[in-house]
Every structure is written in C-alpha cells, then in structure tokens.
A and B are shown apart, each in its own frame.
Chain A
Amino acid sequence: ELKVEQNPLFLSMQEEKNYTIYCNYSTTSDRLYWYRQDPGKSLESLFVLLSNGAVKQEGRLMASLDTKARLSTLHITAAVHDLSATYFCAVDHTSGTYKYIFGTGTRLKVLA
C-alpha cells in the first residue's frame, strides 16, 4: 500500500529555534512537492523538487529530496510566528501519472 508519512504530526517550537519536518514515501516518484495551509484557508505551493538531490530555499525554509531514501526534509531556520501553519508534502502515486498522494500534514505552531 502506498504511504506518504510525515513526522512529526504536531510541532510546537520556540521562535528562533531550528527544526526539521520529514516526509517519507513509498512510491518510486522522483518529484515531490511541499505546500502550506493556514487555518481555514486553501493550500499554497512552497517548493517543487524534481530530481534526486534537489534543494530549494525560500527565506527561513529549505527543502531537499533524496529519491534513493524516498525522503524529503523541510528545514526551518530561526522560526518566527508567521511560519505557524500546516505543511504538507505530496508525491506521485506512480512516477509520471500525476495522481498525487498527500501526507497527513505537520501542524506547526511557533511560540513567541
């Protein structure tokens, strides 16, 4: 059975601290996506990772992809309150099908 697992599911952290969210998947997909969702809102794209070893950075967030390990990480540097949201990773069910499977999400709360 296909699985896309994120951990932790909940993360409460202090401002200015660093932390990493993990996304493990069981497909052979070579691309992975990260999205952010604020409470009661829709999803917005953060990163598109299209190959093994891909690394993308935007502000305090950095995402990487290791297709051999079937693992992606979303690293948060010096967290600020505005980063509080739920973060989802998503992969192809089967590479090239565009049948996307989402992880269950990581709810991040940054405490002032």
Chain B
Amino acid sequence: NAGVTQTPKFRVLKTGQSMTLLCAQDMNHEYMYWYRQDPGMGLRLIHYSVGEGTTAKGEVPDGYNVSRLKKQNFLLGLESAAPSQTSVYFCASSTTLWEQYFGPGTRLTVT
C-alpha cells in the first residue's frame, strides 16, 4: 500500500498562474482533506470531502477549489495563484472516527 500520495512534491508558480495538486489514497477511505501549513500557524483546513462527489469548505477556502470525482482522488486547484498561497500543502484521508493519514506534502512557492 502506498497510503496517501501527493503530486507534485515541489512547485514554483508566478502570481496569476494556475495549478492543480493531486492527492491519491489506496486505503478506500471515505474522508479526504486538504490543509495548508505555514510557520507558527499549525495546519489549517482548506476544503474537505466526506465522500465521492461531495466537498465542503474548511477554515480557509478562499482562492482554492476542489473536486472529488473518484473516491481515491482529491484535487486542489488554485485558479490564480497569489504570494499569500506560498505554503506547504498536506492532503490526508481517514475513515469515520479514526485518525487521518497524511501525505508527504507539496511545497508551493508563488513569486
């Protein structure tokens, strides 16, 4: 089992460019999450999904969109990147009550 994988691992964007981050899990988990981690801020939930075809807003959803067309994949899109979106992005998945399994992270820099 690969667990939770994220693509890409690193990315540099110019302001205004768009990109999509891909998260994939092979554990048949219902729930998937996207977080961003900034120094001294802990993790903040961007969007999450409680099942295929569903998405919901987290704490900091502005500037991001998500889709969950397949149960195993959760995509995070940035339509027009801004320097404030420079961060490390983590994807996670879980079953109902139990712990989240995190991917290795994507380090994004917006210049």
Contacts and interface: CB of A to CB of B under 8 A. Distances in A.
Interface of A: 31, 33, 35, 41-45, 48, 50, 88, 90, 98-105
Contact of A104 (B41, B48, B105): B41
Nearest to B49: A98
B99 A105 contact: no
Contacts of A103: 42
B2 interface: no
A43 B102 contact: yes
B43 interface: yes
B33 A43 contact: no
B50 A98 contact: yes
Contact of B48 (A31, A90, A98): A98
Nearest to B107: A40
18 contacts: A31-B97, A42-B105, A43-B43, A43-B90, A43-B100, A43-B102, A48-B97, A48-B99, A90-B43, A98-B31, A99-B45, A100-B45, A100-B48, A100-B100, A102-B43, A102-B44, A103-B42, A105-B42
Interface in B53-107: 56, 58-59, 90, 92, 94, 96-105
Contacts of B92: 43
B99 A104 contact: no
Contacts of B31: 98
Given A41-B104, A88-B42, 4 more contacts: A48-B97, A88-B43, A98-B50, A104-B42
Nearest to B98: A48
B9 to A, nearest CB: 11
A99 B48 contact: yes
A45 B92 CA distance: 11
Which 4 residue pairs of A and B lie closest in terms of their CB atoms, listed nearest first? A45-B99, A104-B42, A102-B43, A42-B102
A35 B104 CA distance: 14
A101 B102 contact: no
A72 B103 CA distance: 26
A41 B105 CA distance: 8
